[in-house]
Amino acid sequence: MNEQIKVLVKESNLDVYGLGKDREKWEYTLSKFAELMINDCIKELEISKRGDPYTGNLYDCEYNTCIKEQIEVLKTRFGV
């Protein structure tokens, strides 16, 4: 499980470490859930990029550059 996800699990008071033999299943489930959530956030960021409504080409602008950087930060931070 990604370290950042472990921190969030701990902050949420989920006790996955007291589950004994089921711990691995829960860790996998939590990791998968976090991955799906992050991917959904990334999709929303991708949708909000600005582009030409007729051609679909993305503009080369500061706004899109910032979104691209935000996406990379999310991917790196959560290991997605």
Cα-flanking dihedrals φ and ψ of residue 15, to 5°?
A: -105, 75
- Dist CA 37 CA 12 (whole Å): 16
Torsion sign (Cα): 21, 18, 3, 39:
positive
Q: pLDDT tens-digit profile of 38-55?
A: 999 999 999 899 998 888
How much is the pLDDT for 21?
A: 72
Buried b (16+ CB within 10 A) or exposed e, 32-51: eebeeebeeebeeeeeebee
Total-model pTM = 0.74
Q: pLDDT tens-digit profile of 1-34?
A: 788 888 888 888 877 666 677 778 888 888 888 8
User: For the chain, what are the domain ranges?
Assistant: 3-78
pLDDT over 90, % of the chain: 38
